[in-house]
Structure 1
Amino acid sequence: MRKLTYDKRDKAIQVVINPTQFQCSTLAAQLADEWLIHTRAAGLLSGGQAHAAAVRRFCEFVDERLPGGQGMDPKLARLDGDLVDLVDVIHDWESSMVQEFGLEKSTPYSMVRLLLLLIGRRASAGLPVVEKLRLRAEAPPVFKRGRNKPLDEFSNAERIALRDTARADVRELEARLKRGAELLERGRDPRDGGDWQNIADLVWASRHGALTTHALFDHLPKHTKWWPQHLTALLPPERGRNASGRSGLVNAIGRMLFPNELDLMPFRVLLLLEMPDATPEEVHDLMLDEVEFTSAGVRVVQRKMRAWRVRADFHPAAGEEAPQGDEDDSIVVSEHTYTGDGVWGVAGLLRRMIAATATIREAFEVGPRLFVSAQIVRASGGLVAGPATFRRNGRRFSSWIASHRDEQGEPSLVIGEPHEVRRLRKTAKTVRAVALGGTVTDLAGDDHHVEVFRTHYAHGTTAHILAGRAINRAQQWVFHRASAKPVLVAPEAEARLQEPEVSEGLGLSEEKAKAMVAGELDMGMTNCRNPYDSQFTQAGKLCHVAPAMCLVCPNAVIFTSQLPRLLLFADHVERMRVVLDPPRWQAVWGRQHAALMELLSECADKIPAARQEIADQVLALDLPLGLRSEFDR
């Protein structure tokens, strides 16, 4: 027997490999020895459970594969012998696991990698290993690591439904426990003067460990149809073997004092929604001494074992208002009194959960865990209590969701699958990201690197929606800037430009209108609202691309008196069509030419007069030297 004991949350856990349970006992013993040495040398916090699981699974495959596939005795298999070709066996083992789990799962890769690690460690230590097997241990697994499809977060409607249902369950639990406490005060020992058919006496018996299925068998009729109605009303609607009758009554009476795991699930759901920086394991593995209450909230020490990190987060309760109908009396915990008004925040939820499990701690030895629950044990027929795990059938997150049904028996809490509790964490992070603006840093949070965000959070539906909105905003901004046109001022409006009504209608202030009339904002072919706020130049600096880009700038304001210069500029652009290569001309002058043609088409009736003015005054186009050097070649 190879045994290794390690501590997890102040609990001793033993990992065992028993070579004698395999036909290939020699091979199993050799691999088990390497497992022990490697686990102790590496100081693995998990006790090398994954390595041990790989050894056990491989030895089971050897016992099954050798007699049937190769006609050999599994007892001949060993790392330092070549009677059995373990290289082929490892390949067959990996192939069989790929067929079992599929290419999406990483289990085959992980199992083979850990097995090869132990074999390679034995070879590097100088112990005898067949040369062919040693070379195989230096190579990676045949199949690559599978990539599971990352979990998506719950939708906002699902999040609200989960939150509201969990809150309703907490209220129902507290009402039930209050009734149980009242019955306990009135109850007597049914073994000594009490009544086994009196609910208060049964509650008393449950509190003092006297209520079992065996005791009910002796004091209640054999069949439930002969029971009093007030007892059958406590039984669940199902009539399954473990859900009704005496065990059902023991459970129903016990739940008036001791919450079970499904009763604690609403607290788990709400805490995960309120603590986006905590994993499900960090939440339900909390210890009592890791929760410190103050007058302003609660400080929670979180231990993320796989990251080797311990951190203390303070969750204030300021600003929370108690909803109508929720009691909020002060509860003393670990010599600290929380007197805040938080009810559904982290502080309020922890306070209420500790109060709900107080009777369990008084009646049972349950240890320092925060999540403790009571369940019936079939062997003794009574209740036992211990740390909640939320892993057994009927006690999982999916079981809690399925337990909510309407009067017709249809599901009343409709949540998209998979019903995975880890999705609550992603949902909480997504809500925070939306509230903070939806950036990568916001969504990743303080406890993740950007790479972790990319692989585990960036795929989410909400993240895609936020990214799409950001892209749409950027595209709309670009399209707006690209499609913006100058303002063409009609002659009658130009004559009255300094009047407040006219200037305001054109989007100009009175000062800007006066400056344009005086020619102070003339950029050569057009006027400019603000030469220091150009989309082509850094903010605060004078625009250096005027007048070439004025026709595609929303800052430009054009008077009809500037048409002669615009016509000369149109002629210049046409001459450049001959000078420049077509692709170059399109890149440099294409947008301006299209905007210029659209502008001139709106003033078609004024073009002849403008041409005549050019001829009469012998006007010529005066372009800056920088423009000619930058645009005309």
Structure 2
Amino acid sequence: MREIVFRQRERPVYARLDPSAFACSTLAGQLADLWVDYHRKNSLKTVHAYPTAIRSFATFLDVHLPSQGIDAAHARLEDESIDLPAMIHAWGQNLLTQYPEHSRRPWGLERALLALLNHGSERELAVSERVRRRVAAPPGVRKASGQVLDEFSNSERAVMRRTARDDVRALEGRLARGRELLAAGRDPRRHGWLELPNLIWAARHGLVDSGALSDNLLSRNWSAEVREFAESSGIWPGIGLMGCLYRMLFPREIDLHPFRVLLLLAMTDCTSEELHSLQVPDLEFSTEGVRIVQTKQRAQRIRADFHMAEPLDAMPEESGDKTYAGQGAWDVPGLLRRLVGVNVLTREVFDGEPWVFTAVESRQRVRMEAALAAFQDPGRRFTHWLEGHSGPERPFPQGVSRPHDIRRLRKTAKTTRVVALGGTLTDLAGDDHNVRVFQQHYAHGTTAHVLAGAAMNRAQSKVFAKITGTPTLVRPEDQTHLGDPEVAAALGVTPQQGIDLRDGELDMGVSNCKDPHNSPHSVPGKLCHVAPAMCMICDNAVVFVSQLPQQLLLFDHIQRMRDVLPPKSWHSVWGRQEATLKQIFAECADHVAAARRTIEEQALTLNLPLGMRTEYDR
């Protein structure tokens, strides 16, 4: 049996591997020896990938080697009769069938096995040259991109926050009731084990374990108070009663999830890893707020951050906890004060590291101990907290979208922040990410897509609003009366503008313009720079029948552009103008023939600015 013991977050972690469990026990033992040596030589912080890779590879060889006519019991690293590179390749292909499409597990397991074999080749073990060349190469299994996590919906975020606040109030109320019972309790060794306050007193002083309860408190001898307490708690005698007694004084792991939820939603620059590793000395409270020293193990980074406290009058009325010490009840300083407060008695009774997320749980179902909440054991994960509030007549009647990953809360908080700040890329990236990291890990989210779509819609709406106008057609009998106040008002211009239009002072080539210095396509106050290219889709345009020759020439020019421009480009530049000209020609059908004759008799040509031909015709 190979075993490695190391400490992770001040807790002992055991990793074991038994080579005798496999038919190829000799080869499994050699790989296990490499794992132990590799771990010690490199002072690894985690080991689970390596024994898992060895077990998976050995299990595969137990089946694959006999199919090749090879006795698995005789397999060794130095045996050249075994094509080990081919076995590794076949094992990698088999891993792909065992895991989902986006899983990185096959790549990670093959990479871990190759690392051990490469370590062995460096130690000059008797491995073949083919194996040495293979382990020096990268894994044969492609590293999957992974299925990126999406944030929780806004409705789920709001319900989570409300539910977490209710749970925090319930926890504080339960602990307050426990302290009342503790104050009334006495030593049960002298005053009896049948009174609930005495049992709470015994839990506080470390007298309660499974043996003490079974010796002194048989279920048939429970008092009415203890029996009512047990029934209201929904527990079983013995071990269940021990846990329920302790939960009246100390928080459990499931009780700390509401604090995680609220803090991750409030601390957009803090990861779940940094929050989980906080200790009480890392928090420095003041009247202005709290200074937090955050440690990120993966990045090997330590940084300090300050969170301002919100004034009491800024707290929502729903909090109902304004009497709590500190300025804010539900801001970051207030939440951390309350989290530290629920574990004051825990730090008095139990020895250990002053973790902020300290929980008291049963160990080996015999005694209660305080340790850093792992949030990984059955019944204590984030998904169990969510499922506990899912179902009919609960906060989440239809459940919560999966996966139930605590990292989704951070993405939810960051996207909520960007909504408030306006929705730019740099807002989402924030101060703790660069734009590239945001693009890889945050830009895929639903909220980011919705915001990007909304930005595109706004931009397109502005463009469409400018190009959805149509010119006004003025017939010859009305053209002479444009200076009259009534006619000018009906056209939407002043009498002076009407006179200028009538006299040709505002002629832009293919049409006239009500106000060339107030064009929807140009900056107000400057002369329109897109005339006459955009006149046929502009509200300012006024068309006279006398200008039909130029419009016919423009129409002919548009038709020639069909043979020059790609269809998509032609439609975006000239499509709407063609439709507008066809509408004008339909309304002036009795004048079109005369306009065509005028073009031929006078040899008219279309006058287009050189810049327009350069910009629109290629």
TM-score bin (small chain): 0.7 to 0.9
Work out whether 1:563 is the aligned partner of 2:548. Answer: no
**3-state SS in 1 of match to 2:351:** coil
Answer yes or no: is the 8 Å Cα contact 2:482–2:499 preserved in 1: no
Superposed displacement of residue 297, structure 1: 1.6
Give the aligned residue type for 1:349: L
Answer yes or no: is the 8 Å Cα contact 2:390–2:400 preserved in 1: no
Gapped regions of structure 1 (runs ≥ 5): 332-338
The separation in 2 between residues aligned to 1:24 and 1:577, in whole angstroms, is 80
Superposed displacement of residue 378, structure 1: 4.9
The separation in 2 between residues aligned to 1:511 and 1:217, in whole angstroms, is 104
Q: For residues 537-569 of structure 1, give each alpha carbon's deviation from its aligned partner in whole angstroms, at most 9, with x where no partner exists.
A: 688764444234322234x2316xx331x2121
Superposed displacement of residue 357, structure 1: 1.1
Evaluate the alpha carbon distance shift between residue 137 and residue 532 of structure 1 in structure 2; reply closer, same or farther with a 3 A threshold. farther
Give the corresponding residue for 1:326: 320
Q: For residues 129-149 of structure 1, give each alpha carbon's deviation from its aligned partner in whole angstroms, at most 9, with x where no partner exists.
A: 212222322444343233443
Matched residue count: 608
Give the aligned residue type for 2:346: I
Answer yes or no: is the 8 Å Cα contact 1:366–1:387 preserved in 2: no
Superposed displacement of residue 519, structure 1: 6.2
Work out whether 1:350 is the aligned partner of 2:350. Answer: no
Work out whether 1:279 is the aligned partner of 2:271. Answer: yes
Give the corresponding residue for 1:291: 283
Bigger shift: residues 534-543 or 306-315: 534-543
Evaluate the alpha carbon distance shift between residue 285 and residue 505 of structure 1 in structure 2; reply closer, same or farther with a 3 A threshold. farther
The separation in 2 between residues aligned to 1:413 and 1:632, in whole angstroms, is 57
Work out whether 1:623 is the aligned partner of 2:607. Answer: yes
Give the corresponding residue for 1:72: 71
Of 250, 258, 268, which aligns to 1:258? 250
**3-state SS in 1 of match to 2:150:** coil
Q: For residues 603-622 of structure 1, give each alpha carbon's deviation from its aligned partner in whole angstroms, at most 9, with x where no partner exists.
A: 668x599979989xx99778
The separation in 1 between residues aligned to 2:157 and 2:609, in whole angstroms, is 64
Superposed displacement of residue 281, structure 1: 2.2
The separation in 2 between residues aligned to 1:83 and 1:557, in whole angstroms, is 88
Superposed displacement of residue 358, structure 1: 0.9
Q: How does 1:188-199 map to 2 (within 5 A)?
A: 188-193=186-191, 195-199=192-196
The separation in 1 between residues aligned to 2:30 and 2:529, in whole angstroms, is 79
Give the aligned residue type for 2:203: S
Evaluate the alpha carbon distance shift between residue 154 and residue 324 of structure 1 in structure 2; reply closer, same or farther with a 3 A threshold. closer
Superposed displacement of residue 412, structure 1: 5.0
Evaluate the alpha carbon distance shift between residue 200 and residue 115 of structure 1 in structure 2; reply closer, same or farther with a 3 A threshold. same
Evaluate the alpha carbon distance shift between residue 405 and residue 146 of structure 1 in structure 2; reply closer, same or farther with a 3 A threshold. closer
Superposed displacement of residue 422, structure 1: 2.2
Give the corresponding residue for 1:315: 307
Bigger shift: residues 94-103 or 525-534: 525-534
Give the corresponding residue for 1:573: 554
The separation in 2 between residues aligned to 1:85 and 1:434, in whole angstroms, is 58
Q: How does 1:431-510 map to 2 (within 5 A)?
A: 431-488=416-473, 495=481
Give the corresponding residue for 1:335: none
TM-score, length-normalised on structure 2?
0.83
Give the corresponding residue for 1:370: 356
Work out whether 1:389 is the aligned partner of 2:386. Answer: no
The separation in 2 between residues aligned to 1:68 and 1:505, in whole angstroms, is 93
The separation in 2 between residues aligned to 1:201 and 1:502, in whole angstroms, is 98
Q: For residues 443-472 of structure 1, give each alpha carbon's deviation from its aligned partner in whole angstroms, at most 9, with x where no partner exists.
A: 344434445444433333333333333333
Work out whether 1:359 is the aligned partner of 2:345. Answer: yes
Of 209, 212, 226, which aligns to 2:209? 212
Q: For residues 79-120 of structure 1, give each alpha carbon's deviation from its aligned partner in whole angstroms, at most 9, with x where no partner exists.
A: 333243323432343244333324432212211122123323
Evaluate the alpha carbon distance shift between residue 65 and residue 528 of structure 1 in structure 2; reply closer, same or farther with a 3 A threshold. same
Give the corresponding residue for 1:51: 50
Bigger shift: residues 141-150 or 105-114: 141-150
The separation in 2 between residues aligned to 1:503 and 1:36, in whole angstroms, is 94
Evaluate the alpha carbon distance shift between residue 581 and residue 376 of structure 1 in structure 2; reply closer, same or farther with a 3 A threshold. closer
Evaluate the alpha carbon distance shift between residue 358 and residue 30 of structure 1 in structure 2; reply closer, same or farther with a 3 A threshold. same
The separation in 2 between residues aligned to 1:413 and 1:591, in whole angstroms, is 49
Q: How does 1:419-434 map to 2 (within 5 A)?
A: 419-434=404-419
Aligned CA RMSD, in angstroms, stands at: 4.2
The separation in 2 between residues aligned to 1:124 and 1:529, in whole angstroms, is 85
The separation in 1 between residues aligned to 2:216 and 2:33, in whole angstroms, is 56
The separation in 1 between residues aligned to 2:530 and 2:394, in whole angstroms, is 73
Of 174, 197, 202, which aligns to 1:200? 197
The separation in 2 between residues aligned to 1:129 and 1:202, in whole angstroms, is 65
Identity of aligned residues (%): 40
Superposed displacement of residue 473, structure 1: 2.9
Q: For residues 211-259 of structure 1, give each alpha carbon's deviation from its aligned partner in whole angstroms, at most 9, with x where no partner exists.
A: 2333333333434xx63443233236797xxx41232322222211101
Answer yes or no: is the 8 Å Cα contact 2:585–2:592 preserved in 1: no
Give the aligned residue type for 1:278: C
The separation in 2 between residues aligned to 1:540 and 1:40, in whole angstroms, is 76
Bigger shift: residues 50-59 or 392-401: 50-59
**3-state SS in 1 of match to 2:470:** coil
The separation in 2 between residues aligned to 1:577 and 1:91, in whole angstroms, is 63
The separation in 2 between residues aligned to 1:125 and 1:248, in whole angstroms, is 53
**3-state SS in 2 of match to 1:251:** helix
**3-state SS in 1 of match to 2:127:** coil
Superposed displacement of residue 325, structure 1: 6.3
**3-state SS in 2 of match to 1:583:** coil
Answer yes or no: is the 8 Å Cα contact 2:514–2:542 preserved in 1: no
Superposed displacement of residue 525, structure 1: 4.4
TM-score, length-normalised on structure 1?
0.81
Evaluate the alpha carbon distance shift between residue 520 and residue 325 of structure 1 in structure 2; reply closer, same or farther with a 3 A threshold. same
Of 226, 232, 257, which aligns to 1:231? 226
Evaluate the alpha carbon distance shift between residue 38 and residue 493 of structure 1 in structure 2; reply closer, same or farther with a 3 A threshold. farther
Give the aligned residue type for 1:563: V
Of 381, 398, 401, which aligns to 2:386? 401
Superposed displacement of residue 177, structure 1: 1.1
Of 256, 260, 276, which aligns to 1:268? 260
Superposed displacement of residue 157, structure 1: 1.6
Answer yes or no: is the 8 Å Cα contact 1:568–1:621 preserved in 2: no
Superposed displacement of residue 356, structure 1: 0.8
Gapped regions of structure 2 (runs ≥ 5): none
Answer yes or no: is the 8 Å Cα contact 1:369–1:387 preserved in 2: yes
Answer yes or no: is the 8 Å Cα contact 2:219–2:237 preserved in 1: no
The separation in 1 between residues aligned to 2:474 and 2:35, in whole angstroms, is 86
Answer yes or no: is the 8 Å Cα contact 1:77–1:86 preserved in 2: no
Superposed displacement of residue 531, structure 1: 3.8
Answer yes or no: is the 8 Å Cα contact 1:17–1:52 preserved in 2: yes
Bigger shift: residues 182-191 or 619-628: 619-628
Work out whether 1:305 is the aligned partner of 2:287. Answer: no
Answer yes or no: is the 8 Å Cα contact 1:54–1:115 preserved in 2: yes
Q: For residues 258-311 of structure 1, give each alpha carbon's deviation from its aligned partner in whole angstroms, at most 9, with x where no partner exists.
A: 011111111111112212333322222212222222212222222222223333
Evaluate the alpha carbon distance shift between residue 238 and residue 287 of structure 1 in structure 2; reply closer, same or farther with a 3 A threshold. closer
The separation in 2 between residues aligned to 1:260 and 1:477, in whole angstroms, is 56
Superposed displacement of residue 373, structure 1: 0.9
Bigger shift: residues 518-527 or 207-216: 518-527
Superposed displacement of residue 171, structure 1: 0.7
The separation in 2 between residues aligned to 1:455 and 1:469, in whole angstroms, is 21
Answer yes or no: is the 8 Å Cα contact 1:161–1:413 preserved in 2: no
**3-state SS in 2 of match to 1:484:** coil
